[in-house]
Every structure is written in C-alpha cells, then in structure tokens.
Structure 1
Amino acid sequence: MRIVSELLQDAVRWIPDRVFIDDGTRSMTYRDVDRMAARLANVLADQGVGPDVPVCVYLPNCPDLAVGYLACLRLGAIFVPVASMAREREVCSIAERTEAPVIVTGSAGAAVAVAAVRQIPSLRVALAHGGPAGGCLDLDDLLSAASDERPLERRRLEDVAAVFFTSGTTGEPKGAMQTHGSIYSTVRDMATFNRFRFGKETLLDVLPMFNNFGATCLMLTALYSGGTLIVHERWETERVLSDIARHRVTYFAGTPTMLIYLWKGFRPGEHDLSSLRLVIAGGAPVAPDVVEACENELGIARVSQIYGATEVSGYVTGDPVEGARRPGSAGPAFGSSRIAIVDDDGVELPRGEIGEVVISGDTVGPGYWRDPETTAAFYSTAGWRSGDLGLMDHDGCLSIVDRKKDLVISGGYNIYPLEVENILYRHPRVRLCAVVGTPDKVKGELAVAFVVATDPSQELAAELIALCRTELMAYKVPRHVEFIDDMPLGPTGKILKRELRGREIQLPAGVRS
C-alpha cells in the first residue's frame, strides 16, 4: 500500500502545472505547493522538527494551512491543526498535551501563539506568516531564504501522520490519531466512492482544514485525485453560490446546515449549479426533503448522505452516488471499511435491530493521543466503537437513529458539554449546570445551558454567556441560559440530561438563526 506523504510527489510528476489550490487571492499549482511545502519543511527542520515530532498549525482555512499539513508529511512530522477560532486556553491545552516545539500561525493568531510559547515550556517558537509580529519569527522571511528542495522522509503505514482534537463525552477533547496508512486508505476509498476522474474534478472547500472533514475528505482527496480545490475561509452563501458557477465546481461537501443555506439562498436565473456532479452531506443526518429540494429545485445531479468520523480518518459509508438509493440512509460501507451493529456487550445484532455502530477496516486510526485508557474503551480488534446508535437494513445500508453520546452537534460542529460546563462552573453563583442540545431546523441542534444558581437573573445569564465567549470558540457558546430550581439527579448523583432534553424551552427571539 502507498502512504499519504507520497501523494504530492505523484501529482507533481503527472500534472505539475494544474492549479491545486485557489482561495481567490492566490492560485497555486501543484508545482508551487510542492516547492512551498519543501521550503516550510526546511524551516521547520531548522527549528529541530523531524520524524514523529508534533507541529501545531494555527491558521484559518487558507492555502498556507494546506502547505503546513504537506510540509509536516514531507518531514515525517505529526500535523496538529488548531482551530483558528480557538482561544488562548484551548491553544495552550493542545500545545501542552502534544508537547509540540513549534506553532505555525498568521498575523491574526500571533498574539495567542506568543502567549502559548510563554506559558508552555515544551513550545519553544512561534512562526508567523504576514510579517513581523512581536515574539514570533517572521515565517515569510524564513521561507524566502529556504531551499525549495527537500527529500521525502520515508514513513511506515503505522506511523502517525496527524492528530485531530475532536470533542467527546468525557474529559478534555481527545486527540484522534491518524496514520499514513489510514489516511491513504481513506482518500483512496472516498475518491473511488465519489467516482472522481483524475485531473478533472474541481472541489469547493468551505469546511476548515483544521478539521478532518476539510483536511482529509476535501484537501487530501483532491490531492489524490489531481483535482483543483477552491478554498473559502468562512461560509458566505452568496459567494459559495457564485463560485460554484465561476469555477464550474463538480464536487461540494458540507453539513446539512450548509445545504439548507444553499437551498434558501438559491435564485433561479442568477445562480447556476449545473456543474455540480455530486454533493456530499455529513456531520449530522440530513432530512430527505432537503435532499429532494437540492436535487429538484437547485438542479444538483446527486446529493448523497455519508457517515464517518475523525477516528476512522474520513467517511466510510455513503448513499450510492449512482443507481438506487435509500432516502434517509447513509448507505452501505465502501472500500476497506466494514460496519457492525452491536449490543452493549459487543455482540453483533441481526439486521434491522438498533445498536451501537462499530467501524473496522484500514481507515481506522490507532487511538487517542497519549490516552491509553480512553483508547482501550473505544478501540479493539473488532474496530472503533462510535457511540452512535444505528441499524442496518437487509441490503447493508446504515441509518443513524440516535447518539449514545451527550455530544451536541450544531451546524456540523461538535460541542463538548463538559468543556462548556467547566467554564460555567468558574462563576461563583453557579451551583449546578448542564449543557444539552435543543432541536433547531437549520443548525440541527443549539446548545442550551441549564443552571441552578444563587440569585438567578437576566444579568447573570448575560455574564455566563460573556464568560464562555472569552474562553471558547464562538460555536461552543450556549445560545441560551435556562435557570431552574433543581437539577434532575439519578441515584448516584449523576445529572439526568435526558430529562433536560425533554423540557420545553422558550428561546428568546433571534436565538434561532
């Protein structure tokens, strides 16, 4: 089997002058990206980075983020993306847990990166694009002086290539490890499932490459397929609709929320989506009526719901892109992946029965970064236990029916309740709190905080939301604080979140947006 670090060299050999990545301000060919990745690899090597050394990359969705990933692969280093919205506390936590010696950032993240360097002993240097920044080395100057040649560090299939910190249901966000072999298997399988034609696809990426969906399912799959990747830093409905026509985009992947925005923003006669051969919807189940509207009203040839996870390096099932389909289903497993539905004891259940989804195959990663206990709880020789409840029909098509996790998924983003609750508990007037999801037609779910507090008031609710905004990425901040007199507790004192989810919540005007 090939390894993922070889993909760029293959593309440069075959299609060096094809545009690989374009964000509207910069257009870089495969040869351009190869040279820049080699330069950054040389700069990182000068800072002591080598095989198996983690590197934090703290950038928005842009070509530099892709180059950062590819430079790490070139060196055999471990790519550790940090969300560009991450606050200082979150950046420091990831840097400390990985013991990365270097953080790569831009002008917007320079102050936070420098603060992390000062607080975390193992983090020695911050490199910043965009010119001199206090406390950071000028990465652009270093790149201009670096050689654009760097041999590829040979890696084994089982060597870790990337660590994506993903929300879970216990403790801090977990660092899901992906190997050179698991990532290659995933991009190979996804490209085959998507029926990609080498050198002929144009992909639109509005999913951040600091997330596995954007990095692996879009950027690396485009690389594998010799495609062109159109990158947007953030979601803007009108720009997305315009760029699909301008660039004749053939493939789009997004969350169900994004599909709803496209549907609501589409204006016949002004927008042309006829070039879209395939749209993939993931991150949460997508309603069949949304799929039908996107195909019939927007003229998209096919909308396919998929299912996967960071722990398995990408998506591993999909509603077939051609032929018969199962409305509301995420389709059968494809490529090397296999799906089993098991009971609480891990015993496989018959078709049609609801149980936990377990995924096995070449795409499954080796576990969670430096967390053997959690790894043992979720990974085994049988595969990775997802914590999701699903069933398979007699044709092997998977339907997700619920989650065992307490995870809140809002607009495709994972919100980890305990992380938010830990922030709320910092306020002296908070006695008990619990964060749960409440249904929302556009976002799927919105995070709501139930709080037992001393002297509750609207002023206190505003204080709690403000506290979260200073410590958390914006999408993690609760949309509403609901004060209650007593928290529902089980016999052992555990908060019964299922009872909170069943309560009627009157959200203030403007919250559902």
Structure 2
Amino acid sequence: MLDDATAEVPDARAVRDSVTALSYRRLHELSHAVAHWLRGQGVAPGDRVVVQLPSRVELVALFYGVVRCGAIFVPLNPAMKRFHLSSVLENAEPVLVIGDAASAPGLRENTAVPVHDISVAWTHILAVADRTPEPVDVEVGVEDVAALVYTSGSTAAPKAVVCPHRQVTFASSAINAELGYRADDVVFCRFPLSWDYGLYKVLLSCLGRSELILAGEESDLVLLTRMRETGATVVPIVPSLAAMIATLAVRDTGQPPPVRMFTNTGAALPATTISALREAFPGVRVVRQFGQTECKRISIMPPHEDGERLQSVGRPLPGTRVLILDADGTELPVGETGEIVAAGPHVMPGYWRSPELSAGNFRPDPVTGEPRLHTGDYGSLDADGYLYFEGRRDDMFKRKGIRMSTVEIEAAAMDVPGVRVAAVLPPHDGRDLTVFVEADLAPTVVLKELAKRLEPAKVPALCKVIPELPLTLHGKNARQALIDMLEGEGR
C-alpha cells in the first residue's frame, strides 16, 4: 500500500506530528531503513517487535518497516501500566522491544530481550535512510501476520487479536470504499496507534493519499486551534472526544476548521452531541460505525445517509455479511434480536496463543466451514440489511421482570440536556441499577428527566454526578472503576 502511494504521489505529505512532517517518499525511505536496521538486529520474518511509544512520525515508519521485513508489529499503549506489561510481553515473546525515556525502564523490568531507546535507534535508522540502501527483499505472504493488537475485554489480561496482511488490507479497502478518503483530506487522529482505530488511520490515509495528523499529544485546550491550523477535514471520534469538541466549539470565536466528516465508534453518540457538531461545522457528516478489533469493522452508515435511520449503525462492509443468530445458532428473521455474527474476508483468525478463547469467538459455519466471528453483541437487521445494535451480552439484564440493556438507558441519559456522557451499571449483588453522568445537573433532575424517557422499571434507582467518567485505554467506559467507586463509598 505504501509503495503504491509513493509511486503515485511521492511528494505529497503523508504524516505529520507536532514537530516533523514526512512525505510519502521520505516515509517509504524510512520504512526500508527501519527494515534494514531490524535485520541488522537479528529480527527475522515472523518475529514479534514490541513498540511502546507515543504517536509520532517515527512510530508510523516503524510500523511500515516492521511489516516490510516480514516481522510482526506489536504496538502497546504508552499508558499501559506495568501490571499488564508483564503478561503482554510474556504472551508476545518479542525478540526486540522499542521504547522511549518514559517507557523503556518498565519494559526492561519485564523482559530479558533487548530494549532499544527510540532516540538512539532513530539516529541509526536515519543514517541508513540517508545512504539510500537497496530495498529489503523479503517475501511476505498475505497469510503472514502483520500485527498483534492487544485489546481489553472479559479476560483479566489483555488478549492479542492476530491481524494477517490479507484481512488488514481487505478491511482497510472495504472501509475506504464506504468512507472515501481523498487526496485533499487531512485526517486528524487523537488516538494511539496501539488501538486499531488509530492504527487503521495510517492505512486509510495511505489508501486515500491523504495527510495524517498525529495529534494524540496535543493539549485539549488547543484542540480546535490545531484542527484549524492543520486544515483538518476528517476527524475520527469517540463520544467523549465528540463531547469535548462540541463544548470547545461553543466557546470558540474563530473560523471553524474545514471538517467534512466525523467518524464515530466505541459507543453511540447522543443526539445532542450530533446536533452540536453539525451546528459548529456546517455541512459536516457525522458517520456512525460499529465493529470489533476481531474483524476491524462490521458496519458503516454511508456518509450521505448520516441523517437517515438514526438508530442504525449502518450496513455491513462491502464483501462481508452480518447474521443474527439465536442461542441455538439459528438465523433469525428481519427485526428479531439475537447475537451479531460477522462473516467475510475481514474476520481475523483468532487470538494469539489463546486457542480456547479463539474457539469461543471464532467458529466455523456449520455448513460451509467459513470462519465467523461471534461478537457477543446483540442487535437486529431491518429489511434493507441495516444493522441495529442493542448491547453486549453483559449489557443485557432483567429488572422487575423486564428485559433491558445498559445501552438504551445510557442513550436516554445522554438525551437529557446538560448530560455530556453517561454510563450505567446493571443491578448486581444487592446493588441496584445506577447511572453515572458528567453533567452540571443535580442527580434528582437527571432521574426526573429519565422518568420522562423510560419505562418505570428502566429508571435507575441511583444517579451519581461525577466530574469525569473513567475510561479504558480504548476510550470506553471503565465500568470496574465505577464499581470500585460505589464500593468505596459503601465502606
């Protein structure tokens, strides 16, 4: 993908952080230099290279260089704590690790393999690039693994989704077929490249011949200013970032950045946030998406349909299928709720060195043998094939005899004017239904407004207004932190 982009637009800007900008030509040269340097360090095809760095241009060059030499790129979030580092490094078994002044000490404590400081390694890589070495000649097959993406979930330790070249390139192309990144786009990315949402922005920008802005280290206070300075046209968001942008836009007196498209994932955006974004950025499309790292993306609402079917998370990616199955694996008819199951060339082969966990989520079609991803998410399809997400298996519960989901209660809470973000804890072990909100409202006001929107059984017994909702490394509500908060108050 990088070779094709370089051949077509060598001098176009490929990626920029707050300090450095690289053209496609220079990124291409650096990727070869990284591959040469890795070969010199003894890295062979199939070896894992763990990288724990902030999102800067060096990290993008490392990504392309690692996969160019046939090795497996393993990006770790700079915020990952030492508690998880030991299990991740034991699971990945890297032959080489790259960190910086902040991450290297913790990495060295948890592995016996060489840990290189990027400031030193980069000096050697630049020297190789300036010599214009011969291209690295390694046969990389489509079935070979390109990356391991560690993701949190129901297990205590992070698990790694195996991402082969075939699935990664198919998913990238299918996503871009719907979103349509362009050569005049400037993609403003706030997310770490350890998260697949961030990593695929590298690939989508490459496919579109777009410029990628790595803005993860920018202060929240200058967010709109940086979007304006860089000319941002495409901005990936999650609800918390969307709410921040909408709030900043209300106070901003300058010309709005030229954003033409926001793409959302992680959780549904409240209608109030969508309205605020549309008001602040005239003509913008706010695109709903749904997916899991295990197949990257499941559905996208076409940008030109962003004002239609407002409860839908879009239609399946081109070349893929979505099935709705009951507990016995029987396909359900239109409109009925069951487990969302994805099939197609984007389904990854499983989790790294976790055969039992893989067998539970990645199962063959009982008739054709085709691999299918059982997501653990529930939803339905309409007659036109558009998907409606209703919640995860853990989100669904019964209270007072009525089946409900935390997702619908959170959506109702975020519909209340003044509520920026919401998270719901279902009843458990004597704890009743509880809603946490970021808002400038009294708890009683939130509950009163929820009573106008929900059936009585679905109105939480307790509302907690807090300054900021805790999030996981992947931008989702950190429910365990909320549970700990409640239990701490009860002591």
TM-score grouping bracket, smaller chain normalisation: 0.7 to 0.9
CA–CA distance in structure 1, aligned partners of residues 265 and 78 of structure 2: 21
Q: Aligned residues, how many?
A: 418
- Whether the aligned pair in 2 keeps the contact of 1:307 and 1:317 (CA below 8 Å) is yes
Superposition pairs of residues 98-497 of structure 1, within 5 angstroms: 98-118=92-112, 124-130=113-119, 138-147=120-129, 148-149=132-133, 150-197=135-182, 199-216=183-200, 218-234=201-217, 236-267=219-250, 270-273=253-256, 275-312=258-295, 314-323=296-305, 325-382=308-365, 383-405=372-394, 441-445=419-423, 478-479=481-482, 481=484
The alpha-carbon deviation at position 258 of structure 1 amounts to: 1.0
Match of 2:64 among 67, 70, 77: 70
DSSP 3-state at the match of 1:310: coil
Find the aligned partners of 1:42 and 1:144 in 2 and give their Cα distance: 11
Q: 2:150, 2:317 → 1: CA distance?
A: 25
Q: Is the 8 A contact 2:361 2:373 kept in 1?
A: yes
Cα deviation for residue 442 of structure 1 reads 3.9
**Superposition deviation, residue 350 in structure 1:** 0.8
SS of 1:92 mapped into structure 2: helix
Deviations 1:209-260 (A, max 9, x none): 11100001x1111012111001112464343212222222211111011111
What SS does the corresponding residue of 1:311 show, helix, strand or coil?
coil
Encode CA deviations 1:53-74: one digit per residue, 9 max, x unaligned. 1110111121122112111111
TM superposition score normalised by structure 2 = 0.79
Q: CA 1:402 to 1:396, structure 2 compared with 1: closer, same or farther past 3 Å?
A: same
In the superposition, relative to structure 1, how do residues 219 and 107 fare at CA in structure 2: closer, same or farther (>3 Å)?
Answer: same
Q: Which has the higher contact order (CA 8 A, sep 6+)?
A: 1
Q: Is the 8 A contact 1:288 1:328 kept in 2?
A: no
Q: 1:99 to 1:250 in 2, by over 3 A?
A: same
Q: 1:274 and 1:347, CA in 2 relative to 1: closer, same or farther beyond 3 A? A: same
User: Offset at 1:479?
Assistant: 4.9
1:20 pairs with one of 14, 18, 24: 14
Of the structure 1 ranges 165-174 and 26-35, higher mean CA displacement relative to structure 2 is found in 165-174
Number of the residue aligned with 1:455: none
TM-score (norm 1): 0.75
The code of the aligned residue for 2:299 comes to T
One-letter amino acid of the structure 2 residue matched with residue 186 of structure 1: A
Q: Secondary structure at the match of 1:267?
A: helix
Q: Distance in 2 between matches of 1:473 and 1:358?
A: 22
Following the alignment from structure 2 to structure 1, what is the Cα–Cα distance between the partners of residues 313 and 264?
9
SS in 2 for 1:146: helix
Q: Does the CA contact (< 8 Å) of 2:250 and 2:280 recur in 1?
A: no
1:85 maps to which of 50, 62, 79: 79
Instruction: State the alpha-carbon separation in 1 of the partners of residues 224 and 283 from structure 2.
Output: 12
Shift of 1:205: 0.5
Compute the displacement of 1:333 (Å). 0.9
SS at match of 2:303: coil
CA distance in 1, matches of 2:62, 2:53: 9
**Cα distance in 1 between the residues matched to 2:58 and 2:84:** 21
CA contact (8 A) 1:178 1:365 kept: yes
Runs of 4+ in 1 over 6 A off after TM superposition: 446-452, 472-475
- Counterpart contact for 1:55–1:102, Cα < 8 Å: yes
How much does 1:32 deviate? Answer: 1.5
Secondary structure, counterpart of 1:107 in structure 2: coil
- Equivalent residue letter for 1:65: L
CA RMSD of aligned residues (A): 2.9
Q: Tell me by how many angstroms 1:161 deviates.
A: 0.8
1:96 and 2:90 matched: yes
